[in-house]
Structure 1
């Protein structure tokens, strides 16, 4: 897929040379609502370039309470 087919602004802003370096590793995925993208204190296995929707960053506090601390 050429970069013109992506709706993510970060991917669209890359130079053709930089995009060509990423392209072999890019795969479109559909994520379920409330899908957990990363787990604290675990290695990050994937990077995400959202094209639509909302992602949030949730902090878990002592005692298990959760608080949304960021929106993407």
Structure 2
């Protein structure tokens, strides 16, 4: 099971800088994730160019320390 912050952007308020914080992480079953990753792999292999736009959370979820954290 993998954590995902899927609908976070949808939960933000209409006012700038006033998004909801502390929302629970969503989980996805391993089988469902595997199917999605296989589709993504196929799309990447078929494309000439690929760009991935990610947020800071991708590195911390992978175990890379946060630069604002106690060890960063």
- Select the structure that is richer in strand: 1
Same fold judged by TM-score > 0.5? no
- Select the structure that is richer in helix: 2
TM class by shorter chain equals under 0.3
Q: TM-score, normalised by structure 1?
A: 0.19
